[in-house]
Amino acid sequence: MRFHPGPEVVAATRAALKAVTARRARARGGVSLTLGDAAYDLMARAGVGADAEVFEAEHAAAAEYAAACSSAASASASGSDDDRGGLAVKVQSAPLAAWEWVVSRRLRARVSAWDAPGVVFPEALHLVGGRRERAATAELGVLVMPFGEHGTLQDVINSYLCVGSRMDEILVMYYAIELLRAMEAVHAAGVLHADVKPDNLIVRNGGEDWCDWAPHRPGAWKKKGLALIDFGRAVDLAEYPADATFVGDVMTEGFRCAEMMEGRAWTFQCDLHQIAATVHCLLHGKYMTVDRRGGGKVRPREPLKRYWRTDLWDAFFDETLNGETRRLDDPPPLGNLRRVFEAYLSAEGLGPKIRALLMQQTIDMYEQVRKAEA
């Protein structure tokens, strides 16, 4: 964490952000942002939300080197794109950025090496503005982290919507497995994310080995899947007694659990509902609305297609939308839900189809981006 006090640093930061936002297209090395001894080149605004803006960027030194390369061959000889840049610069209020930095560092220390790829960890935090003697007076927080070059899960959903189609049910199961895997690890590490949604899930498509998918993630499948971002609303459960419960509302329409809507206390229901809402977006291409049906259970209003595996989806939504208020040291068994989907995909021999669908999806998204930039 680095502190850069003074109004002049705030003014320079805001000017750089305004300049890159004014651009109509992505560009290399045009807008420089210098914070102390760290320099970044901002190429485009990648996203904007209620609390933050995110910019695609590179380390300035990497951008200068890439510009000096006379050919793709010389650039290739120097190393991979991941070695030279590929950053996301997230700008928000200083308190939100500071908390995201703190909880991310705690989470990184708790998750295993196997589970770590399911979370995107910031590599630097810059606190900007405020009085020289007190970092707590900073105005802006600038978090720097790896950039997801394949976009977010929301980008994937949009790629289908823009051509009037929906994701294949088999691919939805694959992403549900990866989401459940990531959330299982985060909960086991004693953290509630509290803001799970397609915008906050980075798509990982690393590795060149497109062998058939299998539950044990052979070959490069360890480099594929989803990774969680944005821990600004996260709750570190280690700070509370195990029998504590929470009240409050995330106020994100479609991602509020029944307990929030009804003014009741909750624990893991917050994340469980958001997992369900995210998968609902994949299945239906729209936000989830719910109601209570027979037995008082919460169900999505949107009906399932008759040709889907309705037994699996009914069980999934029942578990995720009707979770009990658990102790903080007793996270929900998301692994059980994950293994149900894994067992079905394996028993039906759908590993080759997942590979083919994901490859085609990647190609289609690339072509859409290429046409948009043409």
Tell me how crowded residue 213 is: count the other CB atoms within 10 A of its CB.
26
Residues 6+ apart with CB under 8 A from 77: none
Tell me how crowded residue 278 is: count the other CB atoms within 10 A of its CB.
27
- Given 41, 168, 195, 230, the catalytic residue: 195
How does strand 2-4 pair with strand 124-128?
parallel
Q: How far apart (Å, rounded) are the C-alpha atoms in residues 286 and 34?
A: 40
Q: How far apart (Å, rounded) are the C-alpha atoms in residues 259 and 322?
A: 10
Tell me how crowded residue 359 is: count the other CB atoms within 10 A of its CB.
12
195: annotated active-site residue: yes
Q: Render 180-227 in DSSP notation, one character per residue.
A: HHHHHHHHHTTEE----SGGGEEEEE--S--PPP-TT--GGGGGEEEE
Residues 52-68: b if buried by 16+ CB within 10 A, e if exposed:
bbbbbbbbbebbebbee
Please list the active-site residues: 195
